[in-house]
Amino acid sequence: MIEIRLKAELEAIATTGLTRRRRVLESPCGRIAAVDGREMLNFASNDYLGLAGNAEIAQAMAAGATQWGAGSGASHLVSGHLAPHEALEKEIAAFTGFPRALTFSTGYLANLAVTPTLAGRGDAVFADKLNHASLIDAMQLAKANGADVQRYPHNDMAALEKMLAASPAAHKIIVTDAVFSMDGDLAPLPLIFALAERYDAWLVIDDAHGFGVLGPHGKGSLGHFNLPASPHILLMGTLGKAAGVGGAFVAGSETAIEYLLQKGRSYIFTTAAPPAVACALSKSLELIRQGDALRANLMARITQLRDGLAALPLRLLPSLTAIQPLIVGDNEATLKLSSALWERGLWVPAIRPPTVPKGTARLRISVSAAHTEADISRLIGALKELA
């Protein structure tokens, strides 16, 4: 009986204290989250620029729904590609500097479309060990398509170069997060790009946490490192984090994007996102482009937090980004600290293995441009008292 097996596994999860539960928010995503009738200061979302609850974007979505209806009605290649989708693609291409872009309903689907479509038998894929789960799943699909998939130790350029040099593959693809989601650190993209050029490889970059946050105008990690929109780069960005709405894009050369459009299964076999989402995203892109004040506030809050926590006995990982991980180590101690913060009205999630390596359980503090100086002071004060 499948039912019996599932129950046993759920019980096993419960006995190891790893059962996950969802908190129900009774308010829109923002610096304050209403939960169980309480007002929690929110350090748990990926809404880095505070745009998820932005009124102009919500209005663009409402106006979009009025004009274009609720749903797209079909996949992009059948009849679901409406004018707002087309406009958004062009705006993203112009913003990122690539010749062309394709939009997806989620970043997960975008990642599933890229590597498994580009890499098959005779090809090799080289992936950072700390890549996001969606990229790991994409690697499984690439493997099923016959690609040789190798994982290199986190940001280890010597190991990556050795693998590239030793591989006899016809086509090579390097896949990396630009900002690692549990550590907040950056991939050394200029070095990886140089290796990609030296070994005639393509470079697939997942900029889920850099887009909107890093670089001039929030163009992301490529802008941060001043890297070109090279035909050897495919840039993926998500639109549900800093962009505050939902969805994702892949930008690249005319040929690469046309190929994904023709062959990417997770692009082809799914209904296009509601057109109103595209309308909201066009507005969000505009706010990101003009969002220097938001980014300046975000960076000031990050600096304030890092300075404030410097003397703490716990280690704050070296991160320039909105993701600020505070390493506790022990699973139970991490949970306790997270609960104690919760009691004080501060929502900071505990991240434990297997999401992160054993012995590195942590608080994952997400800073947002919506946070005030007083908000960060409150968190620093509580952590000083509890840690």
Catalytic residue chosen out of the listed positions 172, 209, 219, 224: 209
Token pair 């991939």 is found at 187
Task: Kindly tell me which residue out of 205, 248, 288, 294 binds ligand PLP, with binding defined by CB under 6 A.
Answer: 248
By the rule CB under 6 A, 132 interacts with ligand PLP? yes
How many chain residues are in contact with ligand PLP, going by CB under 6 A?
14
The residue within the footprint of ligand PLP, chosen from 238, 253, 334, 360 (CB under 6 A), is 238
- Of 353, 352, 324, 348, which Cα lies nearest the Cα of 337? 348
Decide if residue 321 touches ligand PLP (CB under 6 A): no
Q: Give the Cα separation of 209 and 19 in Å (integer).
A: 27
Q: Quick check: 134 binds ligand PLP (CB under 6 A)?
A: yes
- For residue 302, the Cα-to-chain-centroid distance in whole angstroms is 18
Catalytic residue among 45, 72, 134, 181: 181
Nearest residue (beta carbon) to ligand PLP: 107
Distance in Å from the first CA to the final CA of the chain: 47
Secondary structure element (H or E) that encloses residue 134, with its range: helix 133-144
Catalytically annotated residue among 85, 224, 241, 371: 241
Residue among 63 and 268 whose Cβ is closer to ligand PLP: 268
Of the pair 72, 111, the CB lying nearest ligand PLP is at 111
x-marked contacts with ligand PLP along 97-126 as a string, rule CB under 6 A? ---------xxx--x---------------
Residue 328 CB partners (closer than 8 Å, separation 6+)? 314, 334, 337, 350, 361, 362, 363
241 counts as catalytic: yes
Cβ-based nearer residue to ligand PLP, 240 or 274: 240
Sheet containing 248-252: give its strands across: 100-104, 248-252, 233-238, 201-206, 171-177, 123-128, 148-152
Judge contact between 251 and 269, C-beta under 8 A: no
Nearest approach in angstroms of CB 372 to ligand PLP is 25
Position 240 contacts ligand PLP (CB under 6 A):
yes
Alpha carbon 96 to chain centroid, angstroms:
17
Given 181, 253, 284, 368, the residue binding ligand PLP (CB under 6 A):
181
Tokens of 300: 């000031």
Let me know if 76 is a catalytic residue: no
Using the minimum distance from each CB to ligand PLP, give the nearer residue, 320 or 340.
320
Asked if 208 and 132 count as a contact pair (C-beta separation under 8 A), the reply is yes
The answer to whether 209 and 178 are in contact (CB under 8 A) is: yes
Q: Applying CB under 6 A, which part among 22-30, 113-121, 203-211, 220-228 lies near ligand PLP?
A: 203-211
- As a dihedral over the C-alpha atoms of residue 311, residue 315, residue 316, residue 319, rounded to 10 degrees, the angle is 120
Give the integer Cα–Cα distance in Å for 118 and 124.
10
Cβ(191)–Cβ(159) under 8 Å? no
Q: Pick from 49, 114, 139, 208 the residue near ligand PLP by CB under 6 A.
A: 208
Interface of this chain with ligand PLP, residues 34 to 93, rule: CB under 6 A: none
Residue placing its CB nearer to ligand PLP in the complex, 72 or 304? 72
Is 364 a binding residue for ligand PLP by CB under 6 A? The answer is: no
Catalytic residue list contains 224? no
Q: How far apart are CA 49 and CA 51, in angstroms?
A: 5
Strands 32-35 and 38-42: antiparallel
Q: State yes or no: residue 220 binds ligand PLP (CB under 6 A).
A: no
Residues near ligand PLP (CB under 6 A) are 106-108, 111, 132, 134, 177, 181, 206, 208-209, 238, 240, 248
Catalytic positions, please? 181, 209, 241
